[in-house]
A and B are shown apart, each in its own frame.
Chain A
């Protein structure tokens, strides 16, 4: 038996099995559970890289689970699209797990840490499954595995608001998953198959069927909810804001990306590019929704007073970019959209990890809590700044590359009016990040009221109170521990690296886009 043949399934099975082992290991010493988590996520990353490498060299990989031949058996397929997403997601999972130890010690009760890592790996297994599977019912199962683990992760913190956030996410997430299940049912009814490749062959003949149309609509709505496309984003801000920093980071950087992946997968490989029913002009609806998401996410982000909430709303906007690029349906924009999956994962990961470092040191994530942090935590704050600049889309950071591709793609599609949307959101992003960058590096000498966006009395009151707890000027915080700092800096470094050596991800993304828009 050749191990290499089984890599597509090992990347799922390893975290799944480890999730069971961890509680046992954790009994001996809770630190073991962390070791296992890091080892497992790292091996997932290695496997993913090797899979992507194989795909780049020899093309699509098809793995028959249990040796059953598709379309009857479950097939795992790795092509450019999921090879790419797999590497991104497993890398983020690895980096965040490296970072997790100190942060989790501080934000989660000690007796729960072992369970936390177990669920973390379960979550990882779910995501890997969503990405790898070539069977739509299997997709549903993995979506639910990842989601259930996600609900638990969000509720893992000490904040009681997190419980309600998790509960609301559970209700909405279940609606979404059930919609997807219904869509699967309709597709099965119409075609009698669950295999994605097989569906792709059989569906074109049925494009006029109302059943197929309905299935498509249910998929779109369900997946939009999962990836938090405006206006179905309402579960996201609370879920990110009240969960432990590590969870916020991993959710923002991977979960929504996987949702976006699933949408691309359904829209462009199960259905084909030319499927654009007149009755449901999906791409047009998505274009409008994503534009609103881009603007609204940025505007709402400006109104926030805590960093995590701000980052959460900014995620809503950034998801808009991914969908916008995909819905423009041309090579350049699609390349941008796929790049943005990587780029947003990198920059949002950086930002959440840097924020987590502040929370670790000060215990608060109010924007005012960052005041003067530039001197106290220079490296973490440098990472935060890089992440922020990248979000704005300054050239030589990753944010610029994907925005550039999407903007040029919009022009290629003859829809110039999306360029102002992108630029306006860059401006709004500048507003909410600059506010923070300024308070990091230029703490006011005199405390004056009404700075930044916080003109309202309630905010000012809140700010001064937290400033009292914090005593920003007198108390000296050191830099975050190395275990947290290094992963943050790695991500920040990659934000620059892939912004400069953009041709590396671009070459993969271009092939992916060509695959999605052309033949398989």
Chain B
């Protein structure tokens, strides 16, 4: 594999950090401030995209920022998996930026400057994780992401918001300091390196028991992946403003979590080691457990965002499950699910936010008939929901298809059952919302009596700055079904990288 030395990854990370300063100094002039956000997001996406051709050529881009002390570097390395995630995150940041502007202005949120600053830092950290060349660099950005999203989660500064934010921090920082760091130190101790390698770095370095311990510590340390029982920060973090939930809890934070898991599975342990030791299978069943249980809990949630949160928990484990199957199609499916779920879930969160802005409703049971008032929004919701369930011609079908294939390749029949069951559960918690929105009468809910509904007839679509982004992402869900080639190609490169020369 040819390695190119280039500072491009650094620029990709740094561009939004520079934007943070600019956003900070132009805090008094909202239009200029928002311009910086948009400019940074577009620039970031262009930088990431500009690296794509080289990666598709089979090269990797490397850049060492500095050496802490011999053996530990802060360095970047862009490979297929990294750019896959970076593309997803940076493209969605552009859309989310527009949506954020619409949302915070419509809601007249306080501390908007802090909001946009933290948002920009969060994206730097996300791209940093994507482009990390070693565990230490990844750890740094992983922690930075937790710290800079704390103000976003607790944005409202009400006691509930702070409680949610503190829970968020406790889970993420606590597990990563206690377990992830431990795992990193152990890895360094047994293997003498922290650099990712397509073949894994741990094979043959220690006894199976030690490796199993390291593996468990890694998984426990990556609470961002929201695998049970370390998932409850995610529903708690739903106190955040909706754009935050959308980008961070459908894309940046949680996907960083699963990305880290994928990295560890593929590039720290390696496919061969995990299948030899049986740890991969253990992870498959662990993820399956989360998928089923989270879906079941989602059924009972009346708060729309909470339902989406549990849905996210379950969907994240699809990624883990796919990769843990360790079969080519399984890995493809898992990796593809990163982008497909991102587009789908962000659309769902966007619609939830649009509904909130337009009607100030948060409960599923209050949404009867809303489809007639907000047709675009609810159409987007429907598209995304159907994609989540995995019905063609929507993006979600692709990953689910590969997951089925992967399970078959690994001859894991129970996994096929799990995915099938989960698909049914997905349908059970999404379709009633769609049904209620389009086919139920609005008056029915007035009887249940929330007083604000006196103005029900005045409900109309949310501001165009919010509806346009959610329409875009919904179109993205469709587009990814018909034209997934770039992402599929990258996923294939990931697979061929880790499974050897075949």
Interface residues of A (CB under 8 A from B): 392-396, 401, 404, 407-408, 411-412, 416, 419-420, 423-424, 426-427, 430, 434, 438, 441-442, 444-446, 448, 499-503, 506
Question: Within 8 Å CB of B162, what residues of A?
Answer: 438, 442, 444
5 contacts between A and B (CB under 8 A): A401-B68, A419-B186, A420-B182, A445-B158, A506-B69
Q: B189–A423 contact, CB under 8 A?
A: no
Which of B94-102, B170-178, B328-336, B403-411 is the interface stretch?
B170-178
Q: What 6 pairs between A and B have smallest CB-CB spacing?
A: A411-B189, A506-B69, A503-B69, A502-B68, A395-B140, A502-B69
Q: A442–B158 contact, CB under 8 A?
A: no
Which listed residue, B66, B72, B154, B186, touches A411 by the CB 8 Å rule?
Answer: B186
Known contacts A395-B136, A396-B140, A442-B151: A424-B189 contact under CB 8 Å? no
Which listed residue, A392, A407, A444, A506, touches B185 by the CB 8 Å rule?
Answer: A407
Interface size class of B (residues with CB under 8 A): 20 to 34
Q: How far is the CA of A502 from the CA of B72 in the complex (A)?
A: 10
Q: B158–A430 contact, CB under 8 A?
A: no
Q: In the assembled complex, how far is the CB of residue A232 from the closest CB belonging to chain B, in whole angstroms?
A: 29
Q: How far is the CA of A392 from the CA of B173 in the complex (A)?
A: 11
Question: What residue in chain A is nearest B190 (Cβ atoms)?
Answer: A411
Query: Cβ of B188 < 8 Å from any Cβ of A?
Result: yes
Question: What residue in chain A is nearest B155 (Cβ atoms)?
Answer: A442
Other A-B pairs beyond A408-B188, A430-B173, 10, CB < 8 Å:
A394-B143, A404-B72, A411-B186, A420-B182, A424-B178, A441-B151, A442-B154, A499-B68, A501-B68, A503-B68
Q: Mark B151-179, 1 if CB is under 8 A from A, else 0.
A: 10010011100100010010001100110
Query: Cβ of B139 < 8 Å from any Cβ of A?
Result: yes
Question: Within 8 Å CB of A423, what residues of B?
Answer: 177-178, 181-182
Known contacts A434-B169, A442-B154: A392-B177 contact under CB 8 Å? yes
Q: A444–B69 contact, CB under 8 A?
A: no
Question: What residue in chain A is nearest B159 (Cβ atoms)?
Answer: A448
Query: Cβ of B67 < 8 Å from any Cβ of A?
Result: yes
Q: A446–B158 contact, CB under 8 A?
A: yes
Q: Is the interface of A mostly helix, strand, loop or mixed?
A: helix
Q: In the assembled complex, how far is the CB of residue B429 from the closest CB belonging to chain A, in whole angstroms?
A: 34
Question: What residue in chain A is nearest B185 (Cβ atoms)?
Answer: A407
Q: A446–B159 contact, CB under 8 A?
A: yes
Question: Within 8 Å CB of B72, what residues of A?
Answer: 404, 502
Question: Within 8 Å CB of B68, what residues of A?
Answer: 396, 401, 499-503
Q: A445–B143 contact, CB under 8 A?
A: no
Question: Within 8 Å CB of B185, what residues of A?
Answer: 404, 407-408, 411, 419
Interface residues of B (CB under 8 A from A): 66-70, 72, 74, 136, 139-140, 143, 151, 154, 157-159, 162, 166, 169, 173-174, 177-178, 181-182, 185-186, 188-189
Question: Within 8 Å CB of A412, what residues of B?
Answer: 189
Q: A408–B143 contact, CB under 8 A?
A: no
Q: In the assembled complex, how far is the CB of residue B210 from the closest CB belonging to chain A, in whole angstroms?
A: 9
Question: Within 8 Å CB of A442, what residues of B?
Answer: 151, 154, 157, 162
Q: B157–A395 contact, CB under 8 A?
A: no
Question: Within 8 Å CB of A401, what residues of B?
Answer: 68-69
Known contacts A395-B140, A411-B189: A445-B151 contact under CB 8 Å? no
Q: How far is the CA of A401 from the CA of B185 in the complex (A)?
A: 12
Q: A444–B140 contact, CB under 8 A?
A: no
Q: How far is the CA of A419 from the CA of B178 in the complex (A)?
A: 9
Question: Within 8 Å CB of A408, what residues of B?
Answer: 185, 188-189
Q: How far is the CA of A123 from the CA of B96 in the complex (A)?
A: 59
Q: A427–B177 contact, CB under 8 A?
A: yes
Q: A444–B157 contact, CB under 8 A?
A: yes
Q: In the assembled complex, how far is the CB of residue A384 from the closest CB belonging to chain B, in whole angstroms?
A: 15
Question: Within 8 Å CB of B173, what residues of A?
Answer: 430, 434
Q: How far is the CA of A445 from the CA of B174 in the complex (A)?
A: 26
Question: What residue in chain B is nearest A423 (Cβ atoms)?
Answer: B178
Q: How far is the CA of A392 from the CA of B166 in the complex (A)?
A: 17
Question: Within 8 Å CB of A430, what residues of B?
Answer: 173-174, 177
Q: A427–B178 contact, CB under 8 A?
A: yes
Q: How far is the CA of A408 from the CA of B67 in the complex (A)?
A: 18
Question: What residue in chain B is nearest A499 (Cβ atoms)?
Answer: B68
Q: How far is the CA of A485 from the CA of B173 in the complex (A)?
A: 30
Q: How far is the CA of A499 from the CA of B140 in the complex (A)?
A: 12
Q: How far is the CA of A347 from the CA of B143 in the complex (A)?
A: 20
Question: What residue in chain B is nearest A504 (Cβ atoms)?
Answer: B69
Known contacts A392-B177, A448-B159: A500-B139 contact under CB 8 Å? no
Q: How far is the CA of A395 from the CA of B177 in the complex (A)?
A: 11
Q: How far is the CA of A423 from the CA of B140 in the complex (A)?
A: 16
Q: In the assembled complex, how far is the CB of residue A442 from the closest CB belonging to chain B, in whole angstroms?
A: 6
Q: B143–A395 contact, CB under 8 A?
A: yes
Question: Within 8 Å CB of A446, what residues of B?
Answer: 158-159
- Of the candidates B69, B136, B158, B188, the one having the most CB atoms from chain A within 10 angstroms of its own CB is B69
Q: In the assembled complex, how far is the CB of residue B55 from the closest CB belonging to chain A, in whole angstroms?
A: 27
Known contacts A395-B139, A412-B189, A434-B169: A445-B157 contact under CB 8 Å? yes
Question: Within 8 Å CB of A501, what residues of B?
Answer: 66, 68
Question: Within 8 Å CB of A499, what residues of B?
Answer: 68
Q: In the assembled complex, how far is the CB of residue A437 from the closest CB belonging to chain B, in whole angstroms?
A: 9
Question: Within 8 Å CB of A503, what residues of B?
Answer: 67-70
Question: Within 8 Å CB of A424, what residues of B?
Answer: 178
Q: How far is the CA of A315 from the CA of B449 in the complex (A)?
A: 58
Question: Within 8 Å CB of B151, what residues of A?
Answer: 441-442
Question: Within 8 Å CB of A411, what residues of B?
Answer: 185-186, 189
Question: Within 8 Å CB of A393, what residues of B?
Answer: 177
Q: How far is the CA of A424 from the CA of B181 in the complex (A)?
A: 11
Question: Within 8 Å CB of B178, what residues of A?
Answer: 420, 423-424, 426-427
Q: How far is the CA of A412 from the CA of B139 in the complex (A)?
A: 22
Question: Within 8 Å CB of B140, what residues of A?
Answer: 395-396
Question: Within 8 Å CB of B158, what residues of A?
Answer: 445-446
Q: In the assembled complex, how far is the CB of residue A322 from the closest CB belonging to chain B, in whole angstroms?
A: 19
Question: Within 8 Å CB of B177, what residues of A?
Answer: 392-393, 423, 426-427, 430
Q: A426–B157 contact, CB under 8 A?
A: no
Question: Within 8 Å CB of B157, what residues of A?
Answer: 442, 444-445
Q: How far is the CA of A393 from the CA of B143 in the complex (A)?
A: 11
Question: Within 8 Å CB of A404, what residues of B?
Answer: 72, 185
Q: How far is the CA of A401 from the CA of B140 in the complex (A)?
A: 13
Q: How far is the CA of A405 from the CA of B151 in the complex (A)?
A: 32
Question: What residue in chain A is nearest B173 (Cβ atoms)?
Answer: A430
Question: What residue in chain A is nearest B142 (Cβ atoms)?
Answer: A395
Question: Within 8 Å CB of B66, what residues of A?
Answer: 500-501
Q: How far is the CA of A27 from the CA of B69 in the complex (A)?
A: 51
Question: What residue in chain A is nearest B71 (Cβ atoms)?
Answer: A408
- Of the candidates A393, A412, A499, A502, the one having the most CB atoms from chain B within 10 angstroms of its own CB is A502
Q: B67–A444 contact, CB under 8 A?
A: no
Q: In the assembled complex, how far is the CB of residue B113 from the closest CB belonging to chain A, in whole angstroms?
A: 12
Question: What residue in chain B is nearest A394 (Cβ atoms)?
Answer: B143
Q: In the assembled complex, how far is the CB of residue A428 from the closest CB belonging to chain B, in whole angstroms?
A: 10
Question: What residue in chain A is nearest B179 (Cβ atoms)?
Answer: A423
Q: In the assembled complex, how far is the CB of residue B21 from the closest CB belonging to chain A, in whole angstroms?
A: 14
Q: In the assembled complex, how far is the CB of residue A417 from the closest CB belonging to chain B, in whole angstroms?
A: 11
Question: What residue in chain B is nearest A411 (Cβ atoms)?
Answer: B189
Q: In the assembled complex, how far is the CB of residue B441 from the closest CB belonging to chain A, in whole angstroms?
A: 39
Q: How far is the CA of A500 from the CA of B66 in the complex (A)?
A: 8
- Of the candidates B151, B169, B181, B188, the one having the most CB atoms from chain A within 10 angstroms of its own CB is B181
Q: In the assembled complex, how far is the CB of residue A201 from the closest CB belonging to chain B, in whole angstroms?
A: 34
Q: How far is the CA of A426 from the CA of B67 in the complex (A)?
A: 24
Question: Within 8 Å CB of B143, what residues of A?
Answer: 394-395
Q: In the assembled complex, how far is the CB of residue B159 from the closest CB belonging to chain A, in whole angstroms?
A: 5
Q: In the assembled complex, how far is the CB of residue A281 from the closest CB belonging to chain B, in whole angstroms?
A: 25
Q: How far is the CA of A39 from the CA of B162 in the complex (A)?
A: 48
Question: What residue in chain A is nearest B210 (Cβ atoms)?
Answer: A416
